[in-house]
Chain A
Amino acid sequence: MSTEPRLIQGNEACAEGAIYAGMRFYAGYPITPSTEIAEILARRLPQVGGKFLQMEDEIASMAAIIGGSLTGAKVMTATSGPGFSLKQENIGYACMAEIPCVIANVQRLGPSTGVATAPAQGDVMQARWGTHGDHPIIALTPSSVREAFELTVRAFNLAEQFRVPVILLMDEVVGHMREKVTLPQPGEFPVVNRVKPTCSRENYYPYKADGDKTPPMACFGEGYRYHVTGLFHDESGFATEKPEIIDWQLKRLHEKINQHLDEIITYTSEETEDADLVVIAYGGTARAVSRAVKLARQEGRKVGIFRPQTIWPFPEAAIGELAASGKKLLVAEMNYGQLLLEVQRVAAGRSEVHSCLQSNGELTQPDVILTKIREVYEHAPGN
Chain B
Amino acid sequence: MTGSESVTELSSVPKLPQTKVVVNQAWCKKCGICIAFCNKTVLAFGEGNRVEVAQPEKCVSCGICENFCPDYAITLEVEEA
Task: Indicate yes or no for A touching B, C-beta below 8 A.
Answer: no
